[in-house]
Chain A
Amino acid sequence: MYRHMFAVQWKWARAPLAALCVLGMMVPALAMRVGLTSYVSATPRDLTSFTAALGVGLAFLAIVTGAAVQSAGSWPDVHGKYVYALSLPIAWREYLFHRTLIGLTLLLLPALAVWLGGWLAVATVPLPDTLHTYAGGVAFRFLLASVLSFAVWTALVQLSGRRVTLVALLCLLALLVTPLVLSAIGLDLSSGGSWNWLIDPPSPVSVFVSRWALIDV
């Protein structure tokens, strides 16, 4: 059964996955290429900053990857109002577990592409001894970010349109009210500003906004 579900989900996801893998390989290579062009007149610190800045593209790509793989796996059921899925002789929990597990497995491919792209990018250029490469680290961060995006989309797909609106409103309310409440009770979880608590560790969102440095000191 898992084999058949995998084959079907692979068919639905393979086209977007192929595009995402190409993009995943291109971003690190592009970052290095553009960075090296500037390297002639820049310091190693400038180079690392530049590649890290372009790494933001990977964070965005991770969000798209999670959403695309999730949508590819769930759209046919959403479109059919789950009638087919519910008519199959499998417990609903088990069905969702399989679909999620397959989605997570497929997310490995773009992460692998990012690793390969990063590895090729740094392997083909001479770097100063003071700089080190982190292709594996960037790929792992990409995987975590795409898994987080996948999880958020999975949760949203399970909700009705009305509930999605409700969750969005509650999130907005929480964003507006929480800093005020924290400030009122004298707690300041942030060191650099009232919103940093949202994006600093241990917040899961930190995986998107932290430094995506392919090369560093």
Chain B
Amino acid sequence: MSTAAGGPATGGLPPNTIIAIGVIGGLAGIYLTMLNQTFNTTIFSVMGGIGSIFAVVWGADAVRRVCSYGLGTGVPSIGMVALGMGVVAAIFGLIIPETGILPIPAILGPVISFIVAALVGLIIGLLSNKVLNMNIPIMEKSMIEIAGAGCLVMMGLSASIAGSFAFNDAILPSVVSTGYIAIVFIGGAMTILHPFNANLGPDETQFRTLYVAIEKAALTMVIAGFASLTAIDAVSAALTVLVGLAIFLVYFDKFMKSVHREAYKVVGTGLLPSAEELE
């Protein structure tokens, strides 16, 4: 279905700015959870959740750019593949330094995950364009971005649940074995794929789409914070939940204001527009 006409998405922040925000914000959030080990606390787990919000903004914007080539709601399906690979890449990258097969310091784990995700995204993009003949100009680039952003979201949320991105000591027991990896995966995927789908149409604007992205990422952060009750202490979990709720409320309000400002009209109730009105 192609309700957004075929052509590059326009308006708002340029793609490169958003990519920078996503990569730097996402990785910074993940790495800031290391303050937990430095200060022997778990209070900094909240940073993982905040990092995931930055990555979601990037991912949602990448979906927006590729979808405006007329793929419409078809992209969530391909995006799911990219995000599935994102979670595999995340686990692969975090586990590689810990196996000791390659002499890589554990601190590089998230960066390796990110690079592997980007490579897998490239392969998926090439397959879509060259083998499935979708012929969308920015497909490869977008798939790299969606997989990369997805990988950062998964790592950010996992780190905020487990309190650390160390795989064997933290993420395996508190995220994978408990099954919370399910909400990390689908929560991260839906926050990236839903915003553009929810705003699809010729009068879509970048800011409204990104408000939805931030507000939904904050909701996922709230659930991740609640899940972290079983892994880290209650105060740190409560902090993640409260910060998530605050971000959600602020950006849900921004979304609503933007709807009231930009819609044709918002009415309490009423009949359908008359034939004269439609002309």
- Chain A partners chain B: no
Chain A residues in the interface with B (C-beta under 8 A): none
